[in-house]
Amino acid sequence: MTLSPYQFISNFSVLGRAVAFVETRELGQGGPAIGYLQIDGAWVLNETGQRAEFGGPLLVQEPYLLAPLLQGFDFRLARLDVRTGRIVAKSAVREKLLLPASADGDTVYYYNDLDNSQLKNCTLEAI
């Protein structure tokens, strides 16, 4: 199955908590879908206390979610703790498109193309 920044599950449960990808929209015409995340109705916030914007798809790695975090005009991969609703780590890698495929500890494997043709990896750093 090819990972897509356009079509992905937007409402699901992790550890009994409701996770919702809300207020989705295109990032520019033909661009990936972006939106905000809520965990049990509470917004996931960035470091400045604003609602953080994310792309999809999200990867569940209990008790965490791995998600493309929009910062400026690029995405970074972020690890969110579902129990606290906080971003706890993110990658230094910045790409125009990030599709998380799998993870092994702090190493996340991802694609940055729509064809999912080349698997890349990066390391998450605690914040």
State the pLDDT at residue 32.
Answer: 79
State the pLDDT at residue 54.
Answer: 94
State the pLDDT at residue 85.
Answer: 94
The full set of domain ranges for the chain reads: 11-126
State the pLDDT at residue 5.
Answer: 66
Give the residue from 11, 33, 34, 17 showing the smallest Cα distance to 85: 17
State the pLDDT at residue 1.
Answer: 58
| Cβ-based neighbour number of residue 94 at 10 Å | 14
Global model pTM greater than 0.85:
yes
Low-confidence stretches of the chain (pLDDT < 70) are: 1-7
State the pLDDT at residue 39.
Answer: 96
